[in-house]
Structure formats: structure tokens, C-alpha cells
Amino acid sequence: MKHVFIAGDAYSTGFFDLDLESDEELSLLPSLSIASYHVARFALVMRDHGLEGIGVFPGHVLLVSDYSLEPIIGKPVLIRQEGRFLVRIAADVNPVECCFTTTREEDVPLILPSENIRIVGVISGMIPQEKD
């Protein structure tokens, strides 16, 4: 087993703050045990309903990896724009602009210039919320 640190809460409907500057700061946060083969660097706790269509509900823990061996189109990713973060599904990523969506019809797709964003990580796993 290995430990990944829970870096904070995640949202798909609005940008949020997250401090990922150093692994040393991450090591001060709560952690959870995952299989040793998993490539996750850290975890986030989903706090809204934007990804329910793919089985991610509020309270579920998202495992975030630095990279993906597969294409990211159609997968949830962690996006950084101007120091703020967002978890959305990568609908289209190209050198000019990127389109990110949720699974809710009421959420408007987010189209951002490629030069203004960075895809920081790929959601490589999820741990369902434990029920009491």
C-alpha cells in the first residue's frame, strides 16, 4: 500500500484554490492508503454534482495523477487557470482552445484559450464515499 495526500476539495462548477507548490506541504495533509501500483500523486474530495453522470458523487475521493498513458479526451482532468483550479471533462483539447464540460445539461461548456490554462492532472481513479 502507498499513501496519497488529500490536497483539498474539488469542484466542477466553479474554480477553487489549491496549494500544490511542494510535496513537503502536501505531506502535512491527511492521507489515505491506496494500492501500491497506482500512480496518483494526490487526492481531492469532490464537493459538487457536476460529474455524477460518470459516477462521481459529492464526497467521493478523486485520485489525481500527473499524466495519462491514454488520451485525455472524455476523461476528467484537473485544470489550472490563473492560479485557480477546476475539475471537468476534457471534451476538446487543441493548440488554440480547449473545451471542458460536466455531465449536467445546465452547466455551460467552458471554452478557454490553450495559452491561458494548464492541465495539471488526470483523474486516474476514484474511491466512493463510505456510507454510514
Quick one: which H or E segment has residue 24?
Answer: helix 23-26
Confidence at 132, pLDDT banded by 50, 70, 90? very low
Write down the residue that cell numbers 455551460 correspond to: 108
Tell me what pLDDT residue 6 has: 92
On whether the CB atoms of residues 98 and 114 are closer than 8 A, the answer is: yes
pLDDT at 111 > cutoff 70: yes
Confidence at 31, pLDDT banded by 50, 70, 90? confident
Tell me what pLDDT residue 77 has: 97
What does pLDDT average to over the chain?
A: 90
pLDDT at 24 > cutoff 70: no
Tell me what pLDDT residue 30 has: 85
| CATH superfamily of the domain spanning 2-127 | Umud Fragment, subunit A (2.10.109.10)
> Kindly report the CA angle at 50 between 41 and 95, in degrees rounded to 5?
65
On whether the CB atoms of residues 64 and 44 are closer than 8 A, the answer is: yes
Look up residue 73 and give its three cell numbers: 479526451
pLDDT tens for 73-104 read: 999 999 999 999 999 999 999 999 999 999 99
Contacts (Cβ under 8 Å, ≥6 apart) of 115: none
